[in-house]
Chains A and B, each alone.
Chain A
Amino acid sequence: MSQDFRLKNGGLIDRDKKISFKFNGKKYFGYEGDTLASALLANGVHLVGRSFKYHRPRGFFGAGVDEPYAIIQLYRNGETEPNIKATEQELFEGLEAKSVNCWPNVNFDVGAINNFLKIFLPAGFYYKTFMWPKSFWYKIYEPFIRKAAGLGTASIKHDKERYEHKYEYCDLLVTGSGPSGLASAYAAAKNGANVILAEDKSRFGGTLLTSDVNIGNQTGKEWADGIISELKEMPNVTIKNRSQVFGYYDHNMLVMSERTSDHLPKTKKFHPKQRLWYIRAKEVLISSGSIERPIVFGNNDTPGVMLSSAAKEYMRVYGVLVGKNPLIFTNNDSGYETAIEFKKNNVDSIILDTRKNPKSEIIDEAKNLGIDIKYSYVVVAAQGYKKVKSADIAKISEDKEELGKIENIKCDCICVSGFWTPTIHLASQSGNKTQFNKDIDAFVPGSAKQNEKTLGAANGVFTLDETLRSSFETGHELSKKITNNDNKVSFPNVIEKKSTTHDKFWCVPLPKGKNYKRFLDFQNDVAVSDIEIALKEGYRSIEHVKRYTTLGMATDQGKTSNLNGLQLVSKIENKVVPAVGHTTFRPPYSPVSIGAIVGREVGKHSKPTRKSPMHLWHEKNNAVFVDAGVWLRPRYYKRGNENLFEAAKREAKNVRTNVGVCDVTTLGKIDIKGPDAAELLNRVYTNAWLKLPIGKARYGVMLREDGIVMDDGTTTRISENHYHMTTTTAQAANVLSHLEYYLQLVWPELNVNVVSTTEQWAGAAIAGPKSRDLLQKLFPSLDVSNDGLPFMGYMEGDLFGVKARIFRISFSGELAYEVNVESDNGNFMWEKIIELGEEFKIQPYGTEALSTLRIEMGHVAGSELDGRTIPYDNSLEGLLSKKKDFIGKRSLSRKAFTADDRQKVVGVVPLDKKTSIPEGSHLVKDSNAPLPNPKLGYISASCWSVEHDNPFSLAILKDGKNMIGQKLFVMSPLKNKIIPVEIVSSHYVDPKGERVRS
């Protein structure tokens, strides 16, 4: 298809590079430097989608980030992405895009019936229409709305693209490369400041690319190009195009998304698709410019109605005509600039100016060019369904209330200019108290909360001379504050055409007997009538009106609609706009992909994976791993076709009959040194620590101040002032912080140092009746007899040339030892243990067998010490010293903690000795009781007891101490199970603890 609307010359596109692309399955051509929007317009395509609510045809309204209509689904390199603005998407070879929110296609859209049912879809229709009957919401209304609404479809595939995060610091961040951004960045950079200049579009220069001005005897574009190429060469300047600063956070932290590869057919190897920048700037200069606002009139959403500045941009930047028979509808001089641009390209337009008799240089130029101008005229309504075909126009009275006789004139596009709205989003996000400027009918930044300043059009300054002057000055001033340099750059001579004041007119009254929809918010289909209804129904706060009508919501966040909405509310309420106030500006300024926010933190990169020094051995020996916090631990070692259950049973049984070895490297280890180390332990742990002899270990429990058990573990006295503390794998980091808190803030008088040594030691637990025989083989010269190394004893040894620490401690309840060596020697130790253990039928065991062993022994662990239980609940009350105070002791006298029927850990066995009990099940007295059935307790951990060969569980049960022998029911609604059980002692195996001391 030929590009019928492409100008013969002009534009900043590269006409030598033709690009083919597909839209809704049809092939078109454009040029390098086009956006999808400009390329479609060049091909005369105006219909790109359907509106959110009424499914009315949608075209293009703008030429950039403010676009409310042209949201498309993009297909690139085998992936799909929703919510892409055609006005921002640069064209690349092979690009494919589709319309959204239409079915079966954009030309014939079934949903457009809503347009005729609009009487049923008034403001707040979500809250009204879909309320009754209640049961319909879940099955009918919600799926229907989900299908009908929404702009595009998210991919459900794994995103193969790479996204990066970058942290950067700078003296000055300049957001936007229009005249104010370039001038301030240049002045600051020349004065030695570190500057980051960010531009949302692919081209630098902003409005300089589209306006007829002269700066220092150059065109605006030439001047911009010169500044940019100079800045690019400066080592203290970073300039980034395709980069949107979208959020302004606390302490001058701004976040910018850089679209590094979105303009390419596919991302280059090792490059990111997008990059998110976290920028901490000493000062921020906001030069985000302004967005033209529409004038509201009948059917103003028809494709072909667009912003006048966009029409100019399509001509100047892309060499594209948005129409060949344009009508310009304006309340200010900007519309004239567009008309002049049309004229230069040999297209005659008609200007309808709402003003009576305005005079300015620009208007004179238009007159001299012979452009047809009608004063005090308005567009009453656009005519045409999928494209503007004509316009109903009329004279308007001086008070702007009465319309004259309606005439119909032919046109193929209507370019609207309702003056300019400063883009104050970033300033407002930073906490700036914005204020209403009556001269421009818009909000501008007021007093700053953070180190930011807004310049140029974003600050309501619309003349180039003043913009450049203030920007050069501000760039210089702020950089001087930071660098103490005083190098000034000379100010160029500026020639621009003078314009006159705009007309405060913004909404065309309805002609008698007509009921045209006059849209305020184009993306959400919010019309004047919707706001009127909301106010009639009593909504007053602008925040409520917004939520009720959806005015200013959705992906464009009301960039073109907010002010007209405010004008309307203030008019109906008979208030001034500042009294109505604006809704809160929140980040992001424009949509940011989830991928960019997540960055590299996906899959295995989302957290570090920690592996023990013996990991490779485990891998080689068919270990199946489980995540234990950030650690990978062997869950079981698979033999043949074994499943988890069978393997765990085999491994646990072997510990009970022979000997097993378990990798316990992951246990938290904290080295504690200093003359007051014992005193610290005595305060942190609930039991007594002052008399622990050198070479002995002790089990300890620590509490939080609220009396809840925080962690448990053993601590060993290595020497006079040196202790080795172990913590559970999960709590290692918290316990270290906890100790540091008390040492640094509460008891700074204690002379103790603590440091984590978790990664410095590799650990192996050797457990089982034959473990002593094995230990003797490992350390032939040591006396490891029951007298030589008794339970809770400690000694150091030489493991075939490797220094080792030997602890006689047990988690499995068997005779057991833990051997620690420096991490680098971990694998050596492990292989020695396996090698020498062979004659004792050693088998490695994983966490599943470890759990089985500890559960049937009644040893509490993480599932009982779950942040809700006190020592009594875990039958640890014997460890509470009565003679001394310790952290959390005072809380234990709370009424609930000392209640007679306080919960306590018990054992649970199914009556049939066969049915496994699901963890998390509830214990109840009567399984047939009416709901809610009173819950007596819950199953904290379950296993298959290898000692008794039947299922066994631990439970935290109300009045547990008096419940032994009772028959209860375990209920698991999740697993749909009801199991009759008997309550037994939690110590199901070796209740007297003889084995560990044998």
Chain B
Amino acid sequence: MLHIKCPHCGMRSQNEFSYGGDASVKRPQLGSEVSDQDWDNFVYNRKSLRGKHWELWQHLFGCRQWIKVERDTATHEIFNTLKANEEIS
């Protein structure tokens, strides 16, 4: 079970969180023209990387904040966590 540092609450067990997928996905602007390909990429296509990966988690049974977690998908090592409004550098 992972041990995730919520930037708001501190170290918490994985079972307080729910997983939210790739954090690098950016939703196209509302009302903008989006090609089929770009929309497909946004909705469906994910890289499923092996290695370092920024992903979203929600601290569901805690502060309910969505957070960004940099995790190695192969080793589960967590390198960094950010608040929702903090940019991935």
A890 contacts across to B, CB distance below 8 A: 28, 34, 39
Residue B49 CB within 8 A of the other chain: no
| Contact A249 B1, CB 8 Å, known A431-B75, A741-B66 | yes
| Contact A745 B1, CB 8 Å, known A706-B43, A890-B34 | no
* Candidates A278, A705, A885; contact of B1 at CB < 8 Å: A278
Residue B46 CB within 8 A of the other chain: no
Contact B3 A449, beta carbon cutoff 8 Å: no
A278 contacts across to B, CB distance below 8 A: 1
A705 contacts across to B, CB distance below 8 A: 27, 42-43
* Candidates A449, A737, A745; contact of B18 at CB < 8 Å: A737
Binary contact track A169-202/B, C-beta < 8 Å → 1, others 0? 0000000000000000000000000000000000
Kindly state the separation between the CA atoms of A746 and B84 in the bound complex, as whole angstroms: 9
- Kindly report which residue of chain B lies nearest to residue A742, judged by CB atoms: B27
A889-931 at interface with B (beta carbon < 8 Å): 890-891
Kindly state the separation between the CA atoms of A278 and B13 in the bound complex, as whole angstroms: 11
- Kindly report which residue of chain B lies nearest to residue A884, judged by CB atoms: B31
Contact B43 A746, beta carbon cutoff 8 Å: no
B31 contacts across to A, CB distance below 8 A: 884-885
CB distance from A893 to the nearest CB of B (A): 9
Binary contact track B45-89/A, C-beta < 8 Å → 1, others 0? 000000000001010100011100000000110100000110000
CB distance from B7 to the nearest CB of A (A): 12
Contact A748 B27, beta carbon cutoff 8 Å: no
Kindly state the separation between the CA atoms of A891 and B39 in the bound complex, as whole angstroms: 8
Contact A706 B44, beta carbon cutoff 8 Å: yes
Classify the interface of chain B: helix, strand, loop or mixed: loop
Chain B: residues with Cβ within 8 Å of the partner, total of 26
Residue A250 CB within 8 A of the other chain: yes
Binary contact track B26-42/A, C-beta < 8 Å → 1, others 0? 01101100100001001
* Candidates B39, B43, B56; contact of A745 at CB < 8 Å: B56
CB distance from B80 to the nearest CB of A (A): 15
Contact B13 A741, beta carbon cutoff 8 Å: no
Contact A250 B1, beta carbon cutoff 8 Å: yes
B3 contacts across to A, CB distance below 8 A: 250-253, 280
- Kindly report which residue of chain A lies nearest to residue B38, judged by CB atoms: A890
Kindly state the separation between the CA atoms of A744 and B1 in the bound complex, as whole angstroms: 26
A885 contacts across to B, CB distance below 8 A: 30-31
A8-50 at interface with B (beta carbon < 8 Å): none
Contact B2 A740, beta carbon cutoff 8 Å: no
- Kindly report which residue of chain B lies nearest to residue A280, judged by CB atoms: B3
A586 contacts across to B, CB distance below 8 A: none
Kindly state the separation between the CA atoms of A250 and B65 in the bound complex, as whole angstroms: 23
B34 contacts across to A, CB distance below 8 A: 890
Contact B58 A748, beta carbon cutoff 8 Å: no
CB distance from B15 to the nearest CB of A (A): 10
Contact A449 B84, beta carbon cutoff 8 Å: no
- Kindly report which residue of chain A lies nearest to residue B66, judged by CB atoms: A744
CB distance from B82 to the nearest CB of A (A): 11
CB distance from A841 to the nearest CB of B (A): 46
Contact A744 B84, beta carbon cutoff 8 Å: yes
Contact A745 B66, beta carbon cutoff 8 Å: yes
A891 contacts across to B, CB distance below 8 A: 39, 43
CB distance from B35 to the nearest CB of A (A): 10
Contact A748 B85, beta carbon cutoff 8 Å: yes
Contact A251 B76, beta carbon cutoff 8 Å: yes
Contact B1 A741, beta carbon cutoff 8 Å: no
Contact B60 A737, beta carbon cutoff 8 Å: yes
A746 contacts across to B, CB distance below 8 A: 27
Residue A683 CB within 8 A of the other chain: yes
CB distance from A280 to the nearest CB of B (A): 6
Kindly state the separation between the CA atoms of A884 and B34 in the bound complex, as whole angstroms: 15
| Contact A737 B1, CB 8 Å, known A885-B30, A885-B31 | no
CB distance from B86 to the nearest CB of A (A): 11
Contact A748 B1, beta carbon cutoff 8 Å: no
CB distance from A971 to the nearest CB of B (A): 34
A744 contacts across to B, CB distance below 8 A: 65-66, 84-85
Contact B58 A737, beta carbon cutoff 8 Å: yes
- Kindly report which residue of chain A lies nearest to residue B30, judged by CB atoms: A885
Kindly state the separation between the CA atoms of A249 and B15 in the bound complex, as whole angstroms: 14
Contact A741 B2, beta carbon cutoff 8 Å: no
- Kindly report which residue of chain B lies nearest to residue A891, judged by CB atoms: B43
B2 contacts across to A, CB distance below 8 A: 250-251
A245-288 at interface with B (beta carbon < 8 Å): 249-253, 278, 280
Kindly state the separation between the CA atoms of A34 and B68 in the bound complex, as whole angstroms: 55
- Kindly report which residue of chain A lies nearest to residue B56, judged by CB atoms: A745
Kindly state the separation between the CA atoms of A744 and B84 in the bound complex, as whole angstroms: 6
Instruction: Point out which of A251, A706, A885 has the most chain B C-beta atoms below 10 A from its C-beta.
Output: A251
Kindly state the separation between the CA atoms of A252 and B20 in the bound complex, as whole angstroms: 24
B1 contacts across to A, CB distance below 8 A: 249-251, 253, 278
Contact B43 A449, beta carbon cutoff 8 Å: no
Contact A748 B84, beta carbon cutoff 8 Å: yes
Kindly state the separation between the CA atoms of A844 and B19 in the bound complex, as whole angstroms: 41
- Kindly report which residue of chain A lies nearest to residue B34, judged by CB atoms: A890
Instruction: Point out which of A449, A740, A748 has the most chain B C-beta atoms below 10 A from its C-beta.
Output: A740
Contact A740 B43, beta carbon cutoff 8 Å: no
Instruction: Point out which of B27, B30, B34 has the most chain A C-beta atoms below 10 A from its C-beta.
Output: B30
B84 contacts across to A, CB distance below 8 A: 744-745, 748
Binary contact track A864-908/B, C-beta < 8 Å → 1, others 0? 000000000000000000001110001100000000000000000
* Candidates A683, A706, A740, A886; contact of B66 at CB < 8 Å: A740
CB distance from B87 to the nearest CB of A (A): 12
Kindly state the separation between the CA atoms of A748 and B86 in the bound complex, as whole angstroms: 11
- Kindly report which residue of chain B lies nearest to residue A733, judged by CB atoms: B60
A496-523 at interface with B (beta carbon < 8 Å): none
B64 contacts across to A, CB distance below 8 A: 740
Kindly state the separation between the CA atoms of A741 and B18 in the bound complex, as whole angstroms: 12
Binary contact track A724-750/B, C-beta < 8 Å → 1, others 0? 000000000000010011001110100
B85 contacts across to A, CB distance below 8 A: 744, 748
B75 contacts across to A, CB distance below 8 A: 431, 449
A706 contacts across to B, CB distance below 8 A: 43-44
Contact B60 A683, beta carbon cutoff 8 Å: no
- Kindly report which residue of chain A lies nearest to residue B20, judged by CB atoms: A741
Contact B13 A683, beta carbon cutoff 8 Å: no
CB distance from B74 to the nearest CB of A (A): 10
CB distance from B3 to the nearest CB of A (A): 4
CB distance from A705 to the nearest CB of B (A): 5
B65 contacts across to A, CB distance below 8 A: 740, 744
Kindly state the separation between the CA atoms of A167 and B28 in the bound complex, as whole angstroms: 43
Kindly state the separation between the CA atoms of A530 and B15 in the bound complex, as whole angstroms: 45
A449 contacts across to B, CB distance below 8 A: 75
CB distance from B59 to the nearest CB of A (A): 10
Kindly state the separation between the CA atoms of A748 and B60 in the bound complex, as whole angstroms: 18
B56 contacts across to A, CB distance below 8 A: 745
Instruction: Point out which of A250, A744, A745, A884 has the most chain B C-beta atoms below 10 A from its C-beta.
Output: A745
12 new A-B contacts, CB < 8 A, other than A280-B13, A740-B66, A744-B85, are: A250-B3, A250-B76, A251-B76, A431-B75, A683-B30, A706-B44, A741-B58, A745-B66, A746-B27, A748-B84, A891-B39, A891-B43
Can you list 24 A-B pairs with a CB-CB distance of less than 8 A?
A167-B13, A250-B1, A251-B2, A251-B3, A251-B78, A252-B3, A253-B1, A253-B3, A278-B1, A280-B13, A449-B75, A683-B30, A706-B43, A706-B44, A737-B58, A737-B60, A741-B58, A744-B65, A744-B84, A745-B56, A748-B85, A884-B31, A885-B30, A886-B30
The 10 A-B residue pairs with the shortest CB-CB distance in the complex, in nearest-first order: A251-B3, A744-B84, A885-B30, A885-B31, A250-B76, A744-B66, A253-B1, A746-B27, A890-B39, A745-B84
A residues in contact (CB < 8 Å) with B: 167, 249-253, 278, 280, 431, 449, 683, 705-706, 737, 740-741, 744-746, 748, 884-886, 890-891
